[in-house]
Amino acid sequence: MIRILIAVVLLLSIPSTVVANPYAVPHPDSMTAECTRIGHKLGSVSRAECLAMEMHPSGGHSAAGQLILMREFPPVKGKTPRARVLLIGGTHGDEYAAVSVVFKWMGFLRRYHSGLFHWQVVPLLNPDGLLQRHSQRMNSHGVDLNRNMDTPDWESKSKHYWIKRTHRDPRRYPGESPASEPETQWLQDEIARFQPDVIVSVHAPYGLLDFDGPPKGPKHIGYLYAHALGTYPGSLGSYAGSYRHIPVITMELPYAGTMPTATQIHRIWIDLIHWIKRHIPKHETTQFRRKIEQQKLSEKPTT
């Protein structure tokens, strides 16, 4: 009886925050554990499918300590890739289809990678947002990762925009400072390291295509048609497209919780490959970047 009483007292003495922490991660450094959580969460990606992708830890972690997983499809022997492509899903944790579709494309690459491009694939940039009981757009600090990138206008515009335009919408909170979040820092480092010629970022549910940076964007990819959303301070399109002149294709699938059909997923993929092959890195991109570099050099004061 005394033992039972002690056990009850001990149980009651556990701080409720520990019990209620929705971000409790049992094995933060285990890829298998993360694939298990992904398999439980996504109706369209099983644990086995996740494991079969043979992803590896990218070195990056989420705010709650979960792994940011990635898979590289490197150059093939004897073939120079035409471009380096960074493909990202799951920036927003409640856009399930955006994560699942990237898994499906990763599956295509596993089967058919020809060396045409050099790929880095990150299907889930925001594991904290997705892998919890009630998935959410933001990371575990409550920050919208697509408003937290270190853009030159972040300090002057981000908070102001959040307060005036979104009326302090918690789903669009840009964070306390630019790149305050480990996921954002990792992504910025990865862009600097990998030097992608184009970035493809998958979201939902607006059912459209957005484009930032040179050259001119595609009119449509599969059933997604171009419709400029505008640029937001701290967004990836702004950070990479507008300021670093790396083309960013933002795909907005039409539904966050419903997958496109297999045919639609395939069609988008084929169109994407064709567009990148035709335009990236094309003369205008390279010339544009060269022009910008020259401008920067000529603007530098001589000492």
Binding site for Zn ion (CB under 5 A): 92, 95, 203
Chain residue at closest Cβ approach to Zn ion: 203
By beta-carbon proximity to Zn ion, the closer residue of 112 and 225 is 225
Q: How far is CA 97 from CA 74, 104, 182, 199, 216, in A?
A: 26, 10, 24, 19, 27
Q: Where are the alpha helices (DSSP H) in the chain?
A: 2-12, 16-20, 31-41, 47-52, 96-112, 127-130, 159-164, 182-194, 236, 243-244, 262-279, 283-299
Report the nearest approach of Zn ion to the CB of residue 203 (Å). 3
Report the nearest approach of Zn ion to the CB of residue 176 (Å). 21
By beta-carbon proximity to Zn ion, the closer residue of 214 and 234 is 234
By beta-carbon proximity to Zn ion, the closer residue of 174 and 214 is 174
Q: What are phi and psi of 250, to 5 degrees?
A: -105, 120
By beta-carbon proximity to Zn ion, the closer residue of 95 and 181 is 95
Report the nearest approach of Zn ion to the CB of residue 155 (Å). 23
By beta-carbon proximity to Zn ion, the closer residue of 52 and 208 is 208
The β-bridge relationship of strands 248-252 and 198-203 is parallel
Report the nearest approach of Zn ion to the CB of residue 145 (Å). 9
Decide if 102 contacts 136 (C-beta within 8 A).
Answer: no
Report the nearest approach of Zn ion to the CB of residue 147 (Å). 11
Neighbours of 228 (CB within 10 A): 13
Decide if 53 contacts 103 (C-beta within 8 A).
Answer: yes
